[in-house]
Chain A
Amino acid sequence: MATLATPTPAAVAGSDAKSGLWSWLATTDHKRIGTLYLWTALAFFLIGGLEAVMIRTQLARPNMGFVSAETYNQLFTMHGTTMVFLAVMPLSAAFFNFLIPLQIGARDVAFPRLNAFSYWVYLFGGILITLPILFQAAPDGGWFGYAPLSTPAYSGVAPGSSELKMNMDFWVAGLQVLGVSSLAAAFNFITTIINMRAPGMTLMRMPMFTWMSFVVQFLLILAFPPITVALVFLMMDRVFGTTFYQVAAGADPLLWQHLFWVFGHPEVYILILPAFGLVSEVLPTFSKKPLFGYNVMVYSGIMIGFLGFGVWAHHMFSVGMGAVADSIFSLMTMLIAIPTGVKIFNWIATMWSGEIRFTVPMKFAIALIAMFTIGGISGVMHSSPPADLQQTDTYFVVAHFHYVLFGGSIMGIFAGIYFYYPKITGRFLDERLGNAHFWLNFIGMNLTFFPMHFSGLLGMPRRIYTYDAGQGWDLFNLLATYGTYLLVVATAVFVWNFVRSRTRGAVAGGDPWHAATLEWSIPSPPPEYNFAKIPTIGSRYPLWDLKEPTWNADPSGHAVPSDPSDLQEETASHTAKALGIPMPYPTAKPLFTAIGLVVMFGGLLLFRDHHAVGLAILLTGAAMLIGGLYAWLTSPLE
């Protein structure tokens, strides 16, 4: 496309003149919020990674004394919690924010201020749950916080003393706060995707990332309520002395487990589907081929999401649910391998007879296929309950979920970061450093997590802060620890690249990868209004309609090529005002409201020990929340 001129450096420096701290605190621009998500989540990824490094150091050899048992228990709890809720989910949210409006041809999300609110709530919730680790008071109940260990009877006071243990209070409160953030964001994106698509952008023409994100939003709105309820019960047990999980009152601890996993299993698809979406953008681009079996890819994504609600008890095969329940959940779980397999094969078929360019994002995407498959297969091994009885709560499970989470979600997210960095910043990430990152990462993760299959099957339980010599696990643990150190190097290379390239990376044009979808039709970084003129879409691959006019990019046959005049890149110098596009006012009201919410929960935490102070803070927070909401809802958007 001849019109894709290289932007001038001035254009790269920033698409809107507004800058400075305030412009970030008050922003309602989905791209800026996406950027905030990206930076924050990467920071949490480093924190979670640092925790992992400490875990692995402690386990390098038998009977190590690097950290104490109590510290270790906080480390793995916070590692899991951080990686799941504060790193991978928000990294996905960064892409939801940045990409969905661009991919569907919209100027923003449906509720821009709600979007800002979601981010701030996430940030403060993350801080609330993470900060205590500095005081050795971090949550220590494991990332799934099983009752009754998480009830006041066993984690309310230090055993044998009356000293208040707040560790799990932070977890309970923090996760509730984070739930608010996720739910608010999900309603927002559901509405955005349903209602803000550009003319011609039918559901079945949406880019695959948007589709997978769409499925994820439904998983979010259906999976978060059960955990919210479970957490409310736990919080009430801890703060008001209710009996939901109180052993002495005859409570059934399996209630917690069921409510948690009703959330927890859909949650793992919340973690993987965005990554699946990202590689579904990367693979076609660098194979120069449309996605193989688009429709089936959509349906399998929906199928995975739907089946995901019927398998939760596969995390509980050892609790003694009975043969019938075990069988049902086992079969349901196995079913999920089918739609997932379809995705794997369709990706490979997408590359088949293409022209594959091995860019860094492409390498990460290919690695996802290779590595996720391993994790998926060990998942199927778990799905057979008798076999799982030998695997559950061992390092075999740890191997499984790191292959799907690191080999799947993280690989996919890195693919996305390398792919979209030019769109976000206007500059490429350095290719050489990127390659170094990729290979270190790829080797490092296999060295870290592959040996865990063996240590698990050879009898090593998970969540142990130490193990005795002579158990046959030494070699595997040592290898895993070396692997982790390799990952540290890999991550350091990435961080260096990420920071450096913002100012020194090669300048990227609007469409640096020769891609097909709408987000590449506008300058990099995009102007605040995204599209000077909302384009009319005629097919799934509007840009390829122009570049490869002989391809009929939409197999439905009814497709009309997208209107070329719509897809020409605007020079970035126009302001929204000059174009007459009304933009939302920047406002810090969502920030203020979010602070109110977190202050409220802070008050609730204090309430247990200091009624008056706690209540005062709680009411202050509530007043801020209500006042903020009121001010926000009564002020115009644009």
Chain B
Amino acid sequence: MLKLRLRQAAPVALVAMLLLTLSACGLTEYPNTTFHHNTEFNSAVDALFDRLVFWGTIVFVVVEVALVVTIIKFRKRPGGPAAKPIHGNAALEITWTVIPALILVLIAIPTVKTIFETQAEAPAGAIKVEVIGHQWWWEFRYPELGVVTANELYLPVGRTAAFELKTKDVLHSFWIPQMGGKRDLITNKTNHLWFTPSADLPSSAWNGFCAEYCGSSHANMKFRLYTVQPDEFESWARHQASPAVFSATPAPATPVIPAAQVTVADSAASVAAPTAGYAFPKDRLEAEFPHVIPQTPIPAGITFDDALLAGGDPVKGATEGFLLGGCIGCHAISGVPGAVSEIGPNLTHLASRHTIAGGLYRNDAPTLARWIKNARHLKPGSIMNTIGKGEYDPILKTTNTMGLDDRQIADVVAYLMALK
């Protein structure tokens, strides 16, 4: 009897250890684990999950041990005991009906409790974030702060974030494994989700995913979350709410241009260059959060002369390329009249973001150039069309006779890179 107990205990310990190792594993090794208690939501889920694992393991061990013991003990042997024609045993059968039922009660009670807890109204004082799904990128709006951005979400630690989830097209699902469970974005409906990044989190970066199949580039519909300190958030939000300006040094070989000249002439909003706001520091990402830096290789078959980038003229990019390329038809840049479309991501502070295209690529000049040249080559199914002259559009199945040449693209890139 004792021996049997020991034998039962061993696998329990084994599985438990395995799970423990996994859940305790470092951020870098399993950066998207669901086991970290970074929010109250995730703590609640994980408590429930632990209970499920506990009972699941017990059921597993009981069944498998009983099975193995039975088949070993009663294997047919010469001279072994003859089979007994037992038809059943009511007491036994009732036992193994009742015991699972009891276990299920123990699971069901905390389940229902947690359902009601996690689906209650968000606590007062939460910061409101609108999440709008698009094939295949994320739009984030902070209506109280006047911020509109894409693919990169900032949240202050210690404050509840209450999400309003909507979609512009098909279904998507909003999921940051480290912060808690997912919630679907449903057409013609608004869904809700809230959680509070723990107040003692250092400023950190996390991965987010689209978890509902949404077409060709569902795999490429990712996003980043930066949980930052309240003052950092404050600074970020204030800056993001401001209109576009050339606040940073423009590309070399170009004289510093007053903002007013760059943006289309009568843009009133673009006069003053505000002090640059907070953005999650790139060097910290590289050092501490490598998992949020895209590794996606640029697909073969697209060429761009990177030497041109150095000479990109942001003014020409803004006044010529951005219009000729038709960018204005799809992208909004706050402060630029006419650039108000919501088809594509808002580019007002593009250069303050670390990734583009649903977290698929790094945001740097060479990648941007290739992206603009042929987004559909870089991202399957992309709604953004192929813009480079002479490029093959894999969806329209035609080669562009019009469009921007590399020189013009370099100008546009210079402009975009200046949109800090």
Contact = CB atoms under 8 A, between A and B. Distances in A.
Interface stretch (A90-98, A200-208, A245-253, A422-430): A245-253
Contacts of A142: 213
B93 A385 contact: no
Contacts of A294: 87-88
Given A254-B186, A331-B108, A461 B209 contact: yes
A337 B103 CA distance: 10
Contacts of B178: 459
Interface in B205-231: 207, 209-220
B34 interface: yes
B115 A326 contact: yes
B70 interface: yes
B80 A293 contact: no
Contact of B64 (A146, A247, A370, A389): A370
B147 interface: no
Interface stretch (B5-13, B52-60, B150-158, B280-288): B52-60
Contacts of A254: 186, 189
Contacts of A251: 187-188
A435 interface: no
B35 A386 contact: no
A30 interface: no
A548 B75 CA distance: 20
Contacts of B295: 62-63, 468-470
B89 A293 contact: yes
A389 B32 CA distance: 15
B149 to A, nearest CB: 21
Given A352-B74, A393-B212, A250 B88 contact: no
B158 to A, nearest CB: 22
A559 to B, nearest CB: 11
A454 interface: yes
Interface in A143-170: 146, 148-149, 154-155, 158-161, 163
Q: Contact size class for A?
A: 35 or more
A463 interface: yes
A615 to B, nearest CB: 29
B301 to A, nearest CB: 11
A296 B182 contact: no
Interface stretch (A65-73, A183-191, A266-274): A65-73
A113 to B, nearest CB: 40
Interface in B67-92: 67, 70-71, 74-76, 80-89, 92
A322 interface: yes
A62 B119 CA distance: 36
Contacts of B175: 393, 461
Interface string B30-50: 111111000000101100110
Contacts of A352: 70, 74, 86
B74 A392 contact: no
Interface stretch (A228-236, A376-384, A569-577): A376-384
B291 to A, nearest CB: 5
B209 A146 contact: no
Given A457-B35, A470-B291, A335 B96 contact: no
A623 B418 CA distance: 69
A247 B187 contact: yes
Interface centre among A355, A357, A454 (most CB of B within 10 A): A355
A153 to B, nearest CB: 8
A148 B96 CA distance: 44
B395 interface: yes
A338 interface: yes
Interface string B287-307: 000110011110100000000
Nearest to B213: A463
A318 B33 contact: no
Nearest to B25: A472
Contact of B33 (A296, A338, A457): A457
Contacts of B180: 389-390
Given A290-B87, A293-B89, 20 more contacts: A159-B383, A161-B395, A252-B188, A287-B74, A293-B88, A294-B88, A327-B112, A334-B108, A341-B100, A349-B86, A354-B83, A355-B76, A381-B56, A386-B111, A393-B211, A457-B35, A459-B30, A459-B34, A461-B219, A551-B85
- 5 closest residue pairs by CB, A with B: A389-B181, A459-B32, A464-B219, A69-B380, A459-B177
9 contacts: A73-B216, A289-B84, A293-B93, A318-B184, A351-B71, A354-B84, A356-B71, A356-B75, A472-B33
